[in-house]
């Protein structure tokens, strides 16, 4: 049997596929005319043209629909592209911020390392200072020889009392106008006993008056009596210095005796 091929009724384009292999409806590859393969070739051209016009309108509507769908797809693609660009810009900004934070973090680490080194140096210096302070504290606890020497000097002090116009005072003492003179108060050391000197020009007790001068070391009520030892124990040397050319000095040693002179060397309650 001879193979049969179909020709397009509108444009005459000849199909290269055998009719037996085609379905009921086919479209012309050139003009798009739809044709029923079951219709015989004797069909009139007018009916084929009507069918072709209808099919063409259907194809145009389909193409318009496809074009609309394509526009929608293009719009969506454009929107996606815009969002993609925005995301890319955001990503670039995040990368820039990340790099900036990394730089700041590196700078901060450098500063922290510098401060850490400074703190370590200060700690070492403070440790050395603490060691020196400990040494000084130990030295302060031990009596220094020079301090002991100074304390000894202050413990054995000298007090010089210069009596002005002695002859005039002695003349006033003879008739009993002024029989005694006293020195200013003084301390044996910065926190020691408070004392003063008293000079009786006519002498006492009775029986030796107008023959001798009486000299006394008087213990006064002081500010530091509460921390001092009582009864007081001392050894003092009283000296009269002759200012004339003869230089006839007189000295006598006085020593406290709480047994012989009871209550005399106790802590004073009044001055």
11 contacts: CB under 8 Å, gap ≥ 6: 28, 30, 31, 33
Whole-prediction pTM? 0.41
The total number of structural domains that make up the chain: 2
C-alpha triplet 163, 164, 168: angle, nearest 5°: 110
H-helix or E-strand spanning residue 34: strand 34-36
Q: Which of 207, 228, 208, 209 is nearest to 219 (CA)?
A: 228
CB 194 within 8 A of CB 220: yes
Question: What is the pLDDT, as a whole number, of residue 133?
Answer: 81
CA end-to-end span of the chain: 167
Burial class of 177 by CB neighbour count within 10 A (0 to 12, 13 to 18, 19+):
exposed
State pLDDT tens for residues 40-50. 444 444 445 55
Query: For residue 107, is it within any domain?
Result: no
Determine what percent of the chain is predicted with pLDDT higher than 90. 18
Q: Residue 237 is part of which domain span? A: 166-255
Question: What are the residues facing 251 on neighbouring strands?
Answer: 239
Question: What is the pLDDT, as a whole number, of residue 204?
Answer: 73
Question: What is the pLDDT, as a whole number, of residue 202?
Answer: 78
Query: For residue 2, is it within any domain?
Result: yes
Query: For residue 185, is it within any domain?
Result: yes
Per-residue pLDDT band for 158 (boundaries 50, 70, 90) equals confident
State pLDDT tens for residues 67-109. 788 888 888 888 988 998 999 999 999 999 999 999 999 999 9
CATH of the domain at 179: 2.60.210.10
Query: For residue 52, is it within any domain?
Result: no
Token couple for 259? 């047994």
Question: What is the pLDDT, as a whole number, of residue 173?
Answer: 78
């Amino acid at each position: 049997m001879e193979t049969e091929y179909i020709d397009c009724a509108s444009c005459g384009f000849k199909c290269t596929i055998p009719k037996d292999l085609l379905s009921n409806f086919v479209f012309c590859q050139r003009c798009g005319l739809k044709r029923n393969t079951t219709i015989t070739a004797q069909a009139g051209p007018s009916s084929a043209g009507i069918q072709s016009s209808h099919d063409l309108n259907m194809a145009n509507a389909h193409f318009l629909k496809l074009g609309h769908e394509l526009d929608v797809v293009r719009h969506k693609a454009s929107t996606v592209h815009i969002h993609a660009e925005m995301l890319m810009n955001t990503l670039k900004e995040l990368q820039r911020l990340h790099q900036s934070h990394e730089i700041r973090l590196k700078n901060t680490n450098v500063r922290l390392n510098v401060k850490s080194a400074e703190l370590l140096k200060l700690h070492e210096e403070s440790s050395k200072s603490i060691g020196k302070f400990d040494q000084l504290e130990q030295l302060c606890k031990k009596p220094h020889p020079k301090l002991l020497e100074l304390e000894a000097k202050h413990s054995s002090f000298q007090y010089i009392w210069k009596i002005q116009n002695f002859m005039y005072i002695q003349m006033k003492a003879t008739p009993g106008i002024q029989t005694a003179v006293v020195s200013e108060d003084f301390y044996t050391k910065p926190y020691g006993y408070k004392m003063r000197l008293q000079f009786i020009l006519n002498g006492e007790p009775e029986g030796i008056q107008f023959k001798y001068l009486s000299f006394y070391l008087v213990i006064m009520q002081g500010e530091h009596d509460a921390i001092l030892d009582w009864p007081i124990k001392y050894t003092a040397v009283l000296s009269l210095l002759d200012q004339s050319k003869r230089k006839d000095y007189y000295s006598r040693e006085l020593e406290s005796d709480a047994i012989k002179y009871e209550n005399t060397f106790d802590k004073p309650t009044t001055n």
